[in-house]
Each structure stands twice: as structure tokens, then as C-alpha cells.
Amino acid sequence: MPSLSSLIDQAALSCAKARKAIALTGAGISVESGIPPFRGKGGLWAKIDPMKYAHIEALERNPADVWRVLFMGIADLLKTAEPNAGHMGLQRLERLGVLQTVITQNVDGLHQKAGSRDVIEFHGTHTTLRCMSCGQRASWQTVRLDVLPPPCACGGFLRPDVVMFGEPINVALLQRAQMLAATCEVMLVVGTSATVEPAAYLPVIAKHNGAFIIEINPEPTPLTDDISSVALLGPAGAMMDRIVQAVAGYKEGRL
Ligand code: APR
């Protein structure tokens, strides 16, 4: 079993040599920012039934409940969440000319807050709202939350701009993400349980195109044995710090 240091060195060397690396991130990269994951230890879905509150049919049937139980809780978490070393590490790989795009399943906006410039929000974003009827967008700052669901001037109601279970992924984002997965040389897969399609298939597309897959997760996932080239079994912040330090060393010819 290779040591963690040698796995990190392999990961860093593949990044340093890559002309086109991309990242796929999940809720785990935001855990160190105080945002719980959905599955695994402390997962949100252990407390809230996703089919009862995170499915589009639940929102259509019972918008006030979904707002009260799910959306308000997430909004509170996002108010104080700041990027952590995991987000900053991906931003630094972009500045080092290694990373081109972050494809994130997260809706917290933390990659953009960290300074990443090309972010595909595969499951939308919780940082803005839109009307279910007319599609009019609104910001959290301008919306009154003493009435749930918040009304739209058109008579409809507002909801976060996220992709709920039962809703499709934006076709243009899906096609771009699949094209990037099919053409990248390295894919960093950080903090995802790799259980929700179609995001979970992106690393498989990358692997089949010959990419080097670097998985970062304290736990093994369905990718770990057959898809990941190296699996760094640790938290995103510390692992990204070590990768970036080694990549910078290779880039500056110090290693
Ligand atoms: N660093 C890295 N990974 C971590 C950390 C950490 N500090 N802490 C936990 N993890 C890992 C967990 O081991 C788990 O594998 O992050 C993963 C989080 O998995 P999920 O909660 O399932 O999150 P994600 O994979 O993003 O879920 C995909 O499911 O519910 C939907 O729309 C939601 O976008 C979400 C999608």
C-alpha cells in the first residue's frame, strides 16, 4: 500500500504536467466551512427526508413546508460560510495554470467566493432566487421572509435557483461538463459520495478518456477501486494544501 506522501506526489506530478485539469466537487469540500454534507457522518438527509422536502413535487405540493424545513436552514448556513483550504487550493491550482474549470454539485457559491473564475454550478445555486411561475430572479436581500413561500409580484412564489430531485440539469451545463470530462488530462474529484447522477458519471467519462483521476475523500466511494488513479483518504483542506505545495514545487523546478 503506497504511502500518502507518495500518492500526493503522484497527484501533484500529474497536475504539474497537465495542460487541462478540471475538478468535480461535492458537499464534502464545504464541510470544513461548517456546511454539513447530505450523506455520511452528520448528513442532512439523516435528519430531513429528501423525498419529502428536496423533491420538486414536494415544493409544488407544500411550498411553505419546504421553505420552512429546508430552504431557510440552508440559507442560515450560507450566511456565515466562508471558503476553506479546499476551495482555496483549487483556486491556487487555477492561478498556477493547472486547473481550468471547477464543476461543482454544491449550491453554496464558495468556489466563486474563493476566487475560482470558471465554475459550473451543476445543481444550480442557493445564492439567488427565482419565481416558479414567471422565472423572474430575485436576491435574498430584497425578499421578505416573514411570509413563506415568499410571493412574486406575478402572483407566483419564489424558490432558490437550485436543481431539486425530479428536476433536469441545465442542458448547456450538462453538455459542457461532459465535454470537459471527455477532454481533460486530470480530474480532481473532491468531497463527493459519487452517488447522484449524472454528476457521478463525469469521473467515469474522464477515466474512459484516459484522464488521471485524483479522488479526495476521508471515505472510499464507488469510484475509489476502479476509477480513481489515486485516492487520498483525508479531508479536502489538508489534502489540497499538500497537493498545491507540491505542484508549486514542480512548477518552480524545486522538486
Ligand atoms: N473533505 C472531503 N470530503 C469530505 C469531507 C471533508 N472534510 N467530509 C466529508 N466528506 C465526504 C463524505 O465522505 C462524502 O463522501 O464528502 C462526501 C459528501 O457526500 P454527499 O453528502 O452525498 O454530497 P454530494 O456527493 O455532493 O451529493 C451529491 O446529492 O443530495 C444531492 O443535490 C445534492 O449536490 C448534492 C448531491
Look at the pTM and tell me if it is higher than 0.85: yes
123 is catalytic: yes
The answer to whether the CB of 82 is under 6 A from ligand 1 is no
Per-residue pLDDT tens for 204-241? 999 999 999 999 999 999 999 999 999 999 999 999 99
Question: Which residue owns the Cα nearest ligand 1 atom 4?
Answer: 28
- What is the identity of the amino acid at 183? T
Q: 219 and 192, same structural domain? A: yes
Tracing cell 419546504 back to the chain, one arrives at: 66
C-alpha cell at 33: 466551512
The answer to whether the CB of 207 is under 6 A from ligand 1 is no
Q: Decide if pLDDT at 68 tops 80.
A: yes
Cβ(87)–Cβ(116) below 8 Å? yes
Q: 187 and 89, same structural domain? A: yes
Q: How confident is the model at residue 64 (pLDDT cuts 50, 70, 90)?
A: very high
Q: 252 and 185, same structural domain? A: yes
Q: How confident is the model at residue 1 (pLDDT cuts 50, 70, 90)?
A: confident
- What is the identity of the amino acid at 220? P
134: CA distance to ligand 1 center in Å?
Answer: 32
Question: Which residue owns the Cα nearest ligand 1 atom 7?
Answer: 235
Q: 59 and 89, same structural domain? A: no
- Residue-level pLDDT at 49: 96
* Number of domain units in the chain: 2
**Residue 24 pairs with which residues in a beta bridge?**
103, 189
The CA-based angle 76-78-80, given to 5 degrees, is: 85
Q: What is the SS3 assignment for 251?
A: helix
Q: 145 and 224, same structural domain? A: no
Tracing cell 423525498 back to the chain, one arrives at: 51
Q: 97 and 65, same structural domain? A: no
Q: 72 and 7, same structural domain? A: no
- Alpha carbon distance 235, 243 (integer Å): 12
Taking alpha carbons only, the member of 35, 104, 30 closest to residue 74 is 35
Q: 106 and 210, same structural domain? A: yes
The answer to whether the CB of 36 is under 6 A from ligand 1 is no
- Domain range holding 134? 37-80+126-162
pLDDT, the chain, mean: 97
CATH of the domain at 68: 3.30.1600.10
- Alpha carbon distance 154, 134 (integer Å): 7
Taking alpha carbons only, the member of 124, 233, 101 closest to residue 179 is 101
**Spatial CB neighbours of 3, under 8 Å, sequence gap ≥ 6:** none
Q: How confident is the model at residue 79 (pLDDT cuts 50, 70, 90)?
A: very high
- Residue-level pLDDT at 254: 72
**Mean predicted confidence (pLDDT) in 110-125:** 98
Give the DSSP letter of residue 192. -
- Alpha carbon distance 172, 178 (integer Å): 10
Tracing cell 402572483 back to the chain, one arrives at: 155
Tracing cell 413561500 back to the chain, one arrives at: 149
Q: 223 and 196, same structural domain? A: yes
The answer to whether the CB of 38 is under 6 A from ligand 1 is yes
Cβ(222)–Cβ(22) below 8 Å? no
Per-residue pLDDT tens for 170-181? 999 999 999 999
252: CA distance to ligand 1 center in Å?
Answer: 33
Q: 117 and 45, same structural domain? A: no
